[in-house]
Amino acid sequence: MRNTGMNDGVGIEYIKAPARDAALDGRTVSETVHGILAAVAAEGDAAVRRYADRFDGGCPDRLEVTMNDRQAAVDRLDPQTRADTEFAIANVRAFAEAQRATLSDLEVEILPGVHLGHRHIPLARVGCYVPGGRYPLLSAPVMTVVPAKVAGVGEIVACLPPSAHEAMIAGCHLSGADRIFRIGGAQAVAAMAHGTQTVPKVDKIVGPGNAFVNEAKRQVFGPVGIDQLAGPSEIFVLADETGDAATIATDLLAQAEHDVRTRVGLVTTHRPLALAVLAEVEAQLATLSTAETAGQAWRDFGEIALVSDEDAMRRYSDAVAAEHLQVHTADAETFARTLTGYGSLFVGELASVVYSDKCCGTNHTLPTMRAGRYTGGLWVGSYLKTVTHQSMTPEGVRAVAPPAVRQSRSEGLEGHRRAAQLRLDRLNG
């Protein structure tokens, strides 16, 4: 055990401290990605194919999946897998539709004759990166493609690595992707950002990926939009003496099996629970089939932090701003309302991250690496742009032109002053 403190004065005793810093861990990929982006921008499909041979062990004869092949992938799905995928799609769609219903266009007369407003306009074309990953994550295309469909995006392009399981193609198709390409890695981001002879240029790229995909999204941002820069997955549990060690350990390891760099943690006010969870994690790892991955994540990035009270737990949690945040306290609903830093919140012992990861309806593409302090995750609004407009009557011009003229004169902007004055002069002439 060791004692430490945070800048905001929260005293913490680590029952288990992380051995490494996920925020600082990892190799530099910037130069490699820069070269890939430049090559794809210059050469198009030829560069995409070259990098597929190099990084993916080969490139398919056709980059785009034909409609016949898409349907064949759906037909070959196990019936239960298809039913479960469609269950997830229905729930994600229903929640996205409910979110969209909260977004209204606006018209307001802010002053007599000064009419202002905004509209929520769907993006014309979006690129969804669908990771291959260690396992066929069938929920991945659901989370990126379905909200885009609900938002009304004109065309949805999906890219997934050539090595991705065929069921992932079926998932893209069932979710509503208009075009599907077997292109992975940074070259997929480059193809969607710049366009090639085969892949259309998109307006925004969404979806998680490995370090190369993440860096590619960072480098192309500007000419195209991106959803966020996603780091390794995270889960934290906040618990008091009512917490159940077996449940908490199970949930921590469920997330840890994603990747060896997953960050998992418990923050608790109860020392016996902290010690019980530490023992339970080790016991469960002994029988977990994915222990090689989950165990390394736990050893390197797992933590159990003991704090004095709920206020300290809240302050530490908000500073961590975990991607997934579970609340296991006596009055979880009340305590949850005091929390502000997280990607998605799971209130009460029954609300496991796995339900959101797979099928309950909220999006699993969430902010990591403390980005939950300032942003939320992927949602239907990520595929809309909110743009403003204005119109004036003569009465409105007479209200706003004089201060605009005076401000322009004060700033030394003669052209601005003339533009404001011209309309006023014509009205008064």
Catalytic residues: 323-324
Residue 328's nearest CA partner among 258, 257, 269, 263 is 269
- Provide CB contacts within 8 A for 54, sequence distance 6+: none
Residue 245, burial from CB neighbour count under 10 angstroms (0-12, 13-18, 19+): buried
Question: Which is nearest to 277 in space by CA: 301, 254, 298, 247?
Answer: 247
Per-residue buried b or exposed e for 112-130, using 16+ beta carbons within 10 Å of the residue's own CB? ebbeeeeebebbebbbbbb
Task: Output the six-digit token pair for 68.
Answer: 């016949």
Evaluate whether 227 touches 214 at the Cβ level (below 8 Å).
no
The whole-angstrom separation of Cα 52 and Cα 38 is 15
How many whole angstroms separate alpha carbon 380 and alpha carbon 317?
27
